[in-house]
């Protein structure tokens, strides 16, 4: 398989846009070629597919060949990385290794956001202070282009896959929004392993061409105070590599072409000891066949973030 062809298949796999026939081709290539597996790990590390954590003492990444070479991300510290491996027979399906106990206790609402009030999201990338959305270019909008807000009268619209001063913006295909939450007041519950952050959000889009595909996802990052506030999370992949733990909703969740329906996405993360802050990320990704860094009509609404106190891990 030619390198350019392999890169294309890997990219579409990581975006969740691979069809069944191409998935089979990629699976066969990865099983047969150590070089292809190495390329997959490199792309996955950059792309962000390794945005899952295992909250147990052991780690198992299934790659079909024991010789697959993991990147630095496949280490317990700073993150118990995980489940980006290709599970053959279930190619491009994210594998989550964390086990979350049944809920037993109280739930604290950290955010219930329908974008009705408050300042517009900042466009300065990853935030370093809690309390306000920041990320790529967005706007708060009412009903438009046939899309009605999921909750209330307003929603947020993703405009571009870049922010003010973003380097390499022309190659970006992910539109992101972030918000930071200070959880130091709940340190006791976090230290005994009994705290879980739950996040859900709804996504929608105007009709788009049949040859274009868009995915939506929610990510959660557990951070210590220094990492959350020293500005390093704005540099490269630091947010992912320096997180204490992280998780992500299913990567392959596609946005449909019906503006009357919203796609609900959920994710949760049991917080490891040492967590001071949590970063929540909403993102929309475009496939390789969806050109440009602008988004014609893609929306998020009804974002809910809760801190749930559950049974401590034994």
Q: Indicate whether 74 pLDDT > 70.
A: no
CB 74 within 8 A of CB 52: no
Mean pLDDT of the chain: 77
End-to-end CA distance of the chain: 48
Question: For residue 46, what are the contacts with CB-CB under 8 A and spacing of at least 6?
Answer: 237
Q: What is the pTM of this model?
A: 0.69
What the chain holds in terms of domains, given with CATH numbers, is 1-99 (no CATH), 107-309 (2.60.120.260)
Range name among 81-90, 131-140, 170-179, 196-205 with the lowest pLDDT average: 81-90
Share of the chain above pLDDT 90, in %: 45
pLDDT in tens, 130-187: 999 999 999 999 999 999 999 999 999 999 999 998 776 666 778 999 999 999 999 8
Q: Which of 305, 51, 302, 15 is nearest to 161 (CA)?
A: 15
What is the C-alpha separation between 130 and 132, in angstroms, rounded? 6
Which of the four pLDDT bands, split at 50, 70 and 90, describes residue 267? very high
Is residue 15 within 8 Å of 288, Cβ to Cβ? yes
Q: What's the CA gap between 202 and 282, in Å, rounded?
A: 10
Residue 41 is predicted with a pLDDT of: 65
Q: What is the DSSP-derived secondary structure letter of residue 272?
A: P
Distance CA 22, CA 10 (A): 10
């Amino acid at each position: 398989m030619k390198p350019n062809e392999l890169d294309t298949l890997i990219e579409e796999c990581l975006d969740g846009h691979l069809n069944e026939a191409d998935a089979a081709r990629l699976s066969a290539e990865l099983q047969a070629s150590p070089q292809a597996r190495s390329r997959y790990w490199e792309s996955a590390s950059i792309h962000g597919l390794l945005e899952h954590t295992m909250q147990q003492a052991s780690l198992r990444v299934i790659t079909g060949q024991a010789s697959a070479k993991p990147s630095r991300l496949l280490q317990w510290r700073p993150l118990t990385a995980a489940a980006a491996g290709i599970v053959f027979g279930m190619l491009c399906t994210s594998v989550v290794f964390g086990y979350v106990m049944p809920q037993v206790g109280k739930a604290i609402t950290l955010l219930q956001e329908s974008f009705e009030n408050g300042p517009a999201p900042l466009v300065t990338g990853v935030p370093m202070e809690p309390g306000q959305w920041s990320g790529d270019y967005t706007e708060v909008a009412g009903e438009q282009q046939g899309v009605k807000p999921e909750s209330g009268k307003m929603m947020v619209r993703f405009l571009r896959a870049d922010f003010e001063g973003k380097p390499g913006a022309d190659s970006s295909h992910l539109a992101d929004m972030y918000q930071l939450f200070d959880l130091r007041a709940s340190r006791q519950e976090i230290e005994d392993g009994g705290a879980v952050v739950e996040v859900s959000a709804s996504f929608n889009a105007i009709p788009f061409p049949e040859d274009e595909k868009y995915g939506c996802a929610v990510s959660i990052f557990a951070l210590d105070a220094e990492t959350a506030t020293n500005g390093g999370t704005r540099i490269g992949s630091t947010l992912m590599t320096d997180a204490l733990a992280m998780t992500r909703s299913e990567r392959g969740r596609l946005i449909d072409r019906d503006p009357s329906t919203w796609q609900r996405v959920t994710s949760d993360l049991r917080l490891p000891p040492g967590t001071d802050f949590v970063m929540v990320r909403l993102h929309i990704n475009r496939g390789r066949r969806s050109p440009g860094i602008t988004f014609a009509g893609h929306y998020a609404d009804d974002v809910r973030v809760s801190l749930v106190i559950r049974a401590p891990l034994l």
